[in-house]
Amino acid sequence: MNVRPQDLDLATAPRPALIDPFARAITYLRVSVTDRCDFRCVYCMSEHMAFLPKADLLTLEELDRVCSAFVARGVRKLRLTGGEPLVRRGIMTLVSSLARHLQSGALDELTLTTNASQLARYAAELKGYGVRRINVSMDTLDPDKFRAITRWGELDKVIAGIDAAQQAGLEVKINAVALKGVNEDEISSLMEWAHGRGMDLTLIEVMPLGDVGETRLDQYLPLSLVRAKLAERYSLDEIDYKTGGPARYMRVAETGGRLGFITPMTHNFCESCNRVRLTCTGTLYMCLGQEDAADLRGPLRASEADDLLHTAIDAAVSRKPKGHDFVIDRRNKRPSLPRHMSVTGG
């Protein structure tokens, strides 16, 4: 990948930091590198998804350019996501080129969220480029249930991916979406398994994003209920551990491990939001739970220099809303937003 002169100037030509209208500094960019995936998780996608034409995607060089523009504006953490980031062709070229910002000290962390189906292949390489930890999404330890949730996934491959990641020295955090009547009775065993392998577990409330062919009310399990149930068996102590994301963490005395809760529905965490999300077509969403977005592909392609891009980023951040307003109840049968989670990634 070609490195342009302005990419080398991050340290010498500082640009103003990105501060939104509510005085929140934007220091975290999540990048969906593809909307495609080799799974069809029931809460994320419908079985028959229409994907974007390849011609609409930003090239790997363009993705690098946008990420680097954000790094120049004070973004310290980049997360690659999707769709499934590891199915994007040439993804390691992007990782290796973004790694230069880790080496220069401009970036604190380069990480990814993955379903781990391809992780066994890439784990050692990721570690070699300076990735220290990754999030793996896995909602159950039961192979049949796993297949039912992901429609197409194989649990064995995911476990092999996690094994490879740990062997390579990557820290792994497991993310699980809490699903009513599906993995509800399995959460303590999933937690004991994760903690037994030295991994944090973070639970996520299902969010009403995109039509997935099922009613959200049938999937939605409030984490307040999960927590109350776990508290009957375990001592959960709130701890002040932060990873830069929206999870709130507890220490589980019996396992010694950390348990995170991401509760967009029962507890709104927007007041401390530090992130924006870029899609694989160069659309910037300032909030996961709002429709407003800015096109960065136009300004990116309009000029070799990054001035137009920076102007577009400034305009976008100046419109970052205070927060989302997701609702799941009986009167709201439609998704709050038509966009699927795979467009912006988690």
| Contact footprint for ligand SAM (CB under 6 A) | 37, 43-44, 81-82, 84, 113-115, 137, 175, 177, 204, 206-207, 209, 341-342, 345-346
User: Least distance to ligand SF4 from the beta carbon of 158, Å?
Assistant: 10
Which of ligand SAM, ligand SF4, none binds 40 (CB below 5-8 Å, type-dependent)? ligand SF4
| Closest CB to ligand SF4 among residues 153, 257 | 153
User: Least distance to ligand SF4 from the beta carbon of 345, Å?
Assistant: 7
How far, in Å, CA of 244 to CA of 37, rounded? 26
Which of ligand SAM, ligand SF4, none binds 207 (CB below 5-8 Å, type-dependent)? ligand SAM
User: How many contiguous H segments (helices) and E segments (strands) does the chain have?
Assistant: 12, 12
| Closest CB to ligand SF4 among residues 115, 336 | 115
Q: What is the sign of the dihedral through the CA atoms of 9, 11, 13 and 17?
A: positive
Distance of CA 230 to the CA centre of its chain: 26
Which of ligand SAM, ligand SF4, none binds 202 (CB below 5-8 Å, type-dependent)? none
User: Least distance to ligand SAM from the beta carbon of 49, Å?
Assistant: 12
User: Least distance to ligand SF4 from the beta carbon of 342, Å?
Assistant: 4
Which of ligand SAM, ligand SF4, none binds 114 (CB below 5-8 Å, type-dependent)? ligand SAM
User: Count of CB atoms within 10 A of residue 188's CB?
Assistant: 17
Q: Give whole-number Cα distances, 266 to 12, 21, 290, in Å.
A: 44, 25, 17
When CB distances to ligand SAM are compared, the closest residue is: 346
* Closest among 330, 51, 339, 34 to 212, alpha carbons compared: 339
Which of ligand SAM, ligand SF4, none binds 107 (CB below 5-8 Å, type-dependent)? none
Which of ligand SAM, ligand SF4, none binds 290 (CB below 5-8 Å, type-dependent)? none
| Closest CB to ligand SF4 among residues 114, 336 | 114
**Helix, coil or strand: residue 155:** helix
Q: What is the sign of the dihedral through the CA atoms of 193, 224, 216 and 134?
A: negative
Distance of CA 156 to the CA centre of its chain: 23
Q: What is the DSSP letter of 333?
A: -
| Closest CB to ligand SAM among residues 68, 175 | 175
User: Least distance to ligand SAM from the beta carbon of 5, Å?
Assistant: 34
How far, in Å, CA of 291 to CA of 337, rounded? 7
**96 burial class (0-12, 13-18, 19+ CB within 10 angstroms)?**
middle
Can you give the binding site for ligand SF4, defined by CB under 6 A?
37, 39-41, 44-45, 82-84, 115, 137, 342
> Which residue do the tokens 């399995």 mark?
186
User: Least distance to ligand SF4 from the beta carbon of 344, Å?
Assistant: 10
Q: What type of residue is 38?
A: D
| Closest CB to ligand SF4 among residues 97, 219 | 219
What single string gives the DSSP state of each residue in 86-104? GGSTTHHHHHHHHHHHHHH
Which of ligand SF4, ligand SAM, none binds 71 (CB below 5-8 Å, type-dependent)? none
| Closest CB to ligand SF4 among residues 172, 230 | 172
How far, in Å, CA of 304 to CA of 72, rounded? 16
User: Least distance to ligand SAM from the beta carbon of 343, Å?
Assistant: 9
Q: What is the DSSP letter of 179?
A: B
User: Least distance to ligand SF4 from the beta carbon of 323, Å?
Assistant: 23
Which of ligand SF4, ligand SAM, none binds 204 (CB below 5-8 Å, type-dependent)? ligand SAM
